[in-house]
Amino acid sequence: MKRIKTRAWAALILAAALLFGTGVYVWRFAVNGRYWVGFSANESVYQNGALAVGVVTDRNGVVLADVKDGARVYADGAETRIACLHAVGDAAGNIGTGALSAFSDRLSGYSLFSGASGKGGSVTLSIDAELNRCAWEALSGRSGAVLVSNYETGEVLCMVSSPSYDPNVGFDAEDPAYEGVYLNRALSAVYTPGSVFKLLTIAAAIERVDDLYTRTFFCDGSREVNGHILTCSGVHGSQTIEQALANSCNCAFAELSLELGAKTLEQYADKLGFTRQHSLSGVYTAIGSIYAGEEGSAELAWSGIGQAADVICPAALLRYVSAIAGDGVLREPSLVLGESGGRTRLLSADTAEKIKAMMNYNVVSSYGEWRFPGLTKLCAKTGTAEVGDGTSHAWFAGFLDDPERPYAFVVVIEHGGGGLSAASPVANQVLQKLVEENNK
Amino acid sequence: MEQLVEYLLVGARWALPVLAVWVLARCVWSMLRERYEPEVWAWLEASDGSRAALRHWECILGRSKRCDIPVARDDVQSTHAVFVRSDKGRWTLYDLSGGKTSSGIRTDTGEGMELRDGETVQFGGQTMTFHDLSEAERAAEEERRSVPGTLLSQGGTLLLLSIFQVLLTLELVQVLSGEAQTQTALGFAFLILLEWCCYLLMRAFDRSGYELETVAFFLCSLGLAVSASSTPEDMPKQIVLLVAGVALYLILGLWLRNLRRSKAFRWPIAGTAIVFLILNVALGVRTNGAVNWLDIGPFRLQPSEFVKLAYIYVGATSLDRLYRRRNLFLFIGFSAAIVGALALIGDFGAALIFFVTFLVISFMRSGSFATVFLAVAGAGLAGFLVLTVKPYVAQRFAAWGHVWADPYGAGWQQTRALSAAASGGLTGVGAGQGWLHKVFAADTDMVFCLVSEELGLIVALCAVLAVAALAVFAVRSAARGRSSFYVIAACSAASMLVTQLALNVFGSTDILPFTGVTFPFVSKGGSSLISCWGLLAFLKAADTRQNASFSVKLAARRRAGESGEDEVTSNK
Ligand SMILES: [Zn+2]
């Protein structure tokens, strides 16, 4: 009997396996429960696949999405609904980055303790619906994205993606104007950066090129690299590095790119977050990619000026300009009011200071402060990204170097033309609105 | 009044998990903290005057230290002889050494030699005298042992369980309406009545152990709640099945009291089981890929559930037969026949349960890891064949671990189960207020998540722990087991329950592939419920705590029976 008694432990091994498996389940339950609840077949919080509970408001308490009599209702005013569509999302969950999908766990009122009680929760977004409306108007139907954030707190104040539609009306799926309408271009799209990419190249140059500030960059309108002709936007002659950036001189930046090398550029793109995925309050951004080609090649020269195969996500650029504004330290952007992201150092304080000075010099010497009345200490960079079909994406990114008005912004307009002519007025319009509200 | 009901309902949300934990803790505490004292049945005295106790009804003598009576002599074999005590108190000595025990035991036939008090037997060069316990010694021995229930009142635990059930009923009645409301209330009233009747019956028979039954009734009340929320119209049927289960439990428990009779019926039962399965293969009704139902008149039976009982019964054996190869080969043949039949039927989950139980039984019988590994390797190949032949099984394996990748296809059931379970949180959305019960097979295959949704994770975990506690109880009882028949039966029955539970819980929560087996006592389904009560009887029969189990004869009455010619059965 002694032997049989000992062998009875076999049954205990099974019981131990049962307890172990149960432990695994409980752990998963605790960690993943919030995501399980957000499954659209969960009738505790969804009806016919649409989230049937939860309120979404903007930072001022304007209700952007609510439930009345079991049905989802949106903000009052078609303009507001359209401008906030991508931030709020749609009931059917087609806009995966919208609050109704991305924050379904909070909206379901989920807590580990009481599950999804059925009454639902609420989410207060960091965006300002009025500002979104202003940005939507400024885009005036052109496709693209506008992002404005407070770089001190990380809160995204304005996030608009175009094309958009009124969720109360819907849209004509056959109409090519609505192509990719579910995509939040601010977070989920990548574009050729064009000259805004020079902000990255300049960071590498400041840290790696010893005689950067004493060198003279000569531009006669084009430059031959490895048998290819690289053209410039003008004939800039002899320039300092500040002037080269203000002129957005391709010749000067091709020279720097070739000198820095492909590895360095790719390394900086990674370090500065352009080729990484970022989370804004749990909403993930698209990942950019940089292909800097072989050492000494024309591809490398093009890559350093934001052309060739380079693509970046607008949100990644917002992070970068926020870091420059914050003396090299970035407050990670967030979409939910009061939930500040962590701090990340992207640049040394010295490098950030130098880039900041140059970006301000861009505005003062090249773009013209008269374009941005009242926006003192504006630091910015334009981009006109050739996309191969003869058109260009227009970019304008930067920030106000003003502790009273710590705003960072990125504007991109698809096939919009010149950065200064097309994108900067949109940024100006939104910033003016923001400053005006600030002054109240 | 309205207000009062509302307060009660809010209270019930909290009270249910608290009561469930409390009931379970009391049962576990009582089962595991109660003293399990060794018994002494006879003595062996060596020529030098040293005495060794025979502490079980079956004891092995041999050179090995792992023998019950180790004899450190080179001329004694490692497993030399077995002492076996019958229900009537007669001792028989069987030789396993191949003729090296003197006194003329015929080893080839397997017949033993009857031992009488004071008889002398020679093992190798060692002479030993057998002393049966005298009447006075036996009485003193029993006086010394403590009766369970002294640590915690069993009636108190049952009272707590009843409060749990009343609150559960209250919650359900609030949600249900019309006939379903009445039937649910009546169903639970009947359940409470049944458990108290059983309790009083046990007390009337001077039996004090009631933890196993309390655990089973706890699980059954969850089952009834599941039934009330998914198919309230089946409530009366569910109650009838419950009564049938409890009846089987009592009958099987009483039957197992008599070891000799139990052993004698092993092969007839095996034959019946095989016939059942052959009928199933020939006449089965196809449901979801598996043909595991048999329609007999108005009843729909799942033969594999009853074969489980037969399998435990046949797999258990006493020590005198344990060492005979023929016995083991017959058992292996029987196992192969069952698993083969289940493979033909296409009931992959049941085949897996039998296979794991086979491993436990064969390990307990042989103690050989080599045999077990061989069996695992063989089954691995067979499983591979099944996967290649049965596409729906392969599909379930493919979805395993990736259910969220295909929530509208292969992961349909698991994703819904997980989502509902998470919605319940720790305390549940309330009995009868979930939505998972609308999903196909939620009240059987995904019942763990259904309980988790409606009553909360805490109660669902209590249900899992309750079954795990049964396994621990079986192993603890094994330490003081009388016959290896009871010990093997209890451990393999517990293993079967645990395996079934693990496949159910982990299948629906995507920790294991989804095999679609039932949760013991909780899942809706008559055959399963009845067979679980049957399995519980095997556990009860191994409970040798003093006066604990109705399935073990009372000490005083046993003595009376032994003095007479015939055995006294439970005619009280
Ligand atoms: Zn130039």
DSSP assignment of B38-97: ----EEEEETTS-EEEE-SSEEEEESSTTSSEE---TTS-SS-EEEEE-TTS-EEEEE-S
B119 CB neighbour count, 10 Å cutoff: 16
Domain match, A58 and A160 both? no
Of B359, B360, B418, which to mutate for an interface test with A (greatest number of A Cβ within 10 Å)?
Answer: B418
DSSP designation for A436? H
Domain match, B106 and B159 both? no
As given in the structure block, the two tokens for residue A62 are 């304007």
A327: buried, middle or exposed (CB in 10 Å: 19+, 13-18, 0-12)? middle
Domain match, A211 and A94 both? no
- Say how far apart CA A312 and CA A410 lie, in whole Å: 12
Tell me which residue in A1, A44, A111 faces B68 most closely, judged by beta carbons.
A1
Confidence at residue A226, expressed as pLDDT on a 0 to 100 scale: 83
What is the domain range of residue A356?
Answer: 134-438
Cα angle A374-A378-A380, degrees, rounded to a multiple of 5: 140
Closest CA to A123 of A145, A101, A106: A106
In a domain, B4, yes or no: no
What is the domain range of residue B118?
Answer: 42-145
Tens digit of each residue's pLDDT (9 = 90 or more) over A342-390: 899 999 999 999 999 999 999 999 999 999 998 889 999 999 998 888 8
As given in the structure block, the two tokens for residue B168 are 């559960």
pLDDT at B537 exceeding the cut of 50: yes
**Average pLDDT, integer, range A95-99:** 91
Confidence at residue B110, expressed as pLDDT on a 0 to 100 scale: 59
Confidence at residue B323, expressed as pLDDT on a 0 to 100 scale: 65
Domain termination site, one of A99, A125, A151 = A125
Confidence at residue B9, expressed as pLDDT on a 0 to 100 scale: 67
CA-CA distances (angstroms) from residue A404 to A185, A426, A438, B89?
Answer: 29, 22, 9, 97
Domain match, A138 and A119 both? no
Of these ranges, A310-324, B143-157, B176-190, B375-389, the one predicted with the greatest mean pLDDT is A310-324
pLDDT at B457 exceeding the cut of 90: yes
In a domain, B505, yes or no: yes
Domain match, B380 and B482 both? yes
Instruction: Look at residue B132 and give its three-state secondary structure.
Output: strand
In a domain, B334, yes or no: yes
Sign of CA dihedral B552, B557, B560, B565: negative
Answer yes or no: are the C-beta atoms of A76 and A57 closer than 8 Å.
Answer: no
Of these ranges, B13-27, B265-279, B358-372, the one predicted with the greatest mean pLDDT is B13-27
Domain match, B102 and B159 both? no
- Closest residue of B to A36, CA-based? B419
Domain match, A428 and A384 both? yes
Closest CA to B535 of B502, B490, B478: B490
In a domain, A21, yes or no: no
Is B434 in Cβ contact with A11 (below 8 Å)? no
Confidence at residue A432, expressed as pLDDT on a 0 to 100 scale: 94
Domain match, A70 and A168 both? no
In a domain, A51, yes or no: yes
Tens digit of each residue's pLDDT (9 = 90 or more) over A208-236: 999 999 999 999 988 888 888 888 988 99
Lowest-pLDDT choice from A12-16, A257-261, B273-277:
B273-277
Our count of domains for chain A comes to: 2
- Chain A residues whose CB is inside 8 A of the B511 CB are 21, 24-25
Tell me which residue in B420, B438, B488 faces A4 most closely, judged by beta carbons.
B488
Confidence at residue A118, expressed as pLDDT on a 0 to 100 scale: 60
Domain match, A278 and A427 both? yes
Question: What are residue A330's phi and psi, to 5 degrees?
Answer: -105, 135
A196 CB neighbour count, 10 Å cutoff: 30
Domain match, B112 and B178 both? no
Say if pTM beats, i.e. exceeds, 0.80.
no
Domain match, B404 and B432 both? yes
Our CA-based measurement puts residue B486 at a distance from the nearest CA of chain A, in whole angstroms, of 11
- The larger pLDDT score, comparing residue B72 to residue B109, is at B72
Domain match, A80 and A195 both? no
Tens digit of each residue's pLDDT (9 = 90 or more) over B481-519: 778 888 889 999 999 999 999 999 999 998 888 888 889
In a domain, B11, yes or no: no
Domain match, B371 and B330 both? yes
In a domain, B166, yes or no: yes
- Say how far apart CA B95 and CA B80 lie, in whole Å: 6
Answer yes or no: are the C-beta atoms of B532 and B509 closer than 8 Å.
Answer: no
Our CA-based measurement puts residue A396 at a distance from the nearest CA of chain B, in whole angstroms, of 39
- Chain B residues whose CB is inside 8 A of the A39 CB are 407, 415-416, 418-419
In a domain, B33, yes or no: no
**Average pLDDT, integer, range B28-45:** 78
Mean pLDDT estimate for chain B: 81
Find the A322 Cα to ligand 1 centroid distance in Å: 28
For the domain that residue B64 is a member of, what is the CATH number?
Answer: 2.60.200.20
pLDDT at A266 exceeding the cut of 80: yes
Question: What are residue A213's phi and psi, to 5 degrees?
Answer: -85, -15
As given in the structure block, the two tokens for residue B84 are 């076996």
**Average pLDDT, integer, range A165-193:** 92
Domain match, B61 and B168 both? no
Domain match, B339 and B228 both? yes
Q: Could you tell me the end-to-end alpha-carbon distance of chain B, in angstroms, rounded to an integer?
A: 48
> Could you tell me which residues are beta bridge partners of residue B84?
B58, B92
In a domain, B512, yes or no: yes
Domain match, B172 and B140 both? no
Our CA-based measurement puts residue B60 at a distance from the nearest CA of chain A, in whole angstroms, of 7
In a domain, A154, yes or no: yes
Is A4 in Cβ contact with B495 (below 8 Å)? no
Answer yes or no: are the C-beta atoms of A81 and A75 closer than 8 Å.
Answer: yes
Domain termination site, one of A90, A125, A160 = A125
Closest CA to A116 of A28, A30, A27, A43: A43
Our CA-based measurement puts residue A361 at a distance from the nearest CA of chain B, in whole angstroms, of 51
pLDDT at B567 exceeding the cut of 50: no
Domain match, A108 and A189 both? no
Q: How are beta strands A55-57 and A122-124 bridged, if at all?
A: parallel
Domain match, B343 and B422 both? yes
Domain match, B133 and B266 both? no
**Average pLDDT, integer, range A418-437:** 93
Q: What is the DSSP string of A5-62?
A: HHHTHHHHHHHHHHHHHHHHHHHHHHHHHHHHHT-TT-TTTEETTEE-S-EEE-TT--
Spatial neighbors of B238 by CB under 8 A, at least 6 apart, are: B187, B223, B224, B227, B524
In a domain, A344, yes or no: yes
Is A114 in Cβ contact with B426 (below 8 Å)? yes
Tell me which residue in B59, B60, B367 faces A7 most closely, judged by beta carbons.
B367
Domain match, B102 and B161 both? no
B298 CB neighbour count, 10 Å cutoff: 5
Chain length of chain A: 440
Domain match, A275 and A179 both? yes
Q: What is the DSSP string of A88-121?
A: H--TTS-STTSHHHHTHHHHTT-BTTTB--SS--
Answer yes or no: are the C-beta atoms of A187 and A288 closer than 8 Å.
Answer: no
Domain match, A212 and A315 both? yes
In a domain, B55, yes or no: yes
Our CA-based measurement puts residue A71 at a distance from the nearest CA of chain B, in whole angstroms, of 19
Domain match, A239 and A213 both? yes
**Average pLDDT, integer, range B114-118:** 82
Confidence at residue B465, expressed as pLDDT on a 0 to 100 scale: 94
Closest CA to A122 of A56, A60, A52: A56
In B129-234, where does DSSP find H-type helix? 135-144, 154-175, 178-204, 211-230
- Say how far apart CA B263 and CA B253 lie, in whole Å: 14
- Closest residue of B to A16, CA-based? B468
pLDDT at B435 exceeding the cut of 90: no
CA-CA distances (angstroms) from residue B217 to A211, A386, B30, B165, B211?
Answer: 85, 75, 16, 10, 10
**Average pLDDT, integer, range A24-50:** 85
- Chain A residues whose CB is inside 8 A of the B468 CB are 15, 18-19
Give the side-chain half-sphere CA count within 13 A for B88.
11
For the domain that residue A274 is a member of, what is the CATH number?
Answer: 3.40.710.10
Confidence at residue A283, expressed as pLDDT on a 0 to 100 scale: 92
Q: Is A68 in CB contact (< 8 Å) with chain B?
A: no
Of A3, A35, A47, A112, which to mutate for an interface test with B (greatest number of B Cβ within 10 Å)?
Answer: A3
Domain match, A140 and A74 both? no
**Average pLDDT, integer, range B523-545:** 88
Answer yes or no: are the C-beta atoms of A161 and A185 closer than 8 Å.
Answer: yes
Our count of domains for chain B comes to: 2
Domain termination site, one of A94, A125, A156 = A125
Tens digit of each residue's pLDDT (9 = 90 or more) over A60-76: 999 999 988 878 899 99
In a domain, A66, yes or no: yes
Closest CA to B525 of B371, B306, B329: B306
As given in the structure block, the two tokens for residue B464 are 């899992």
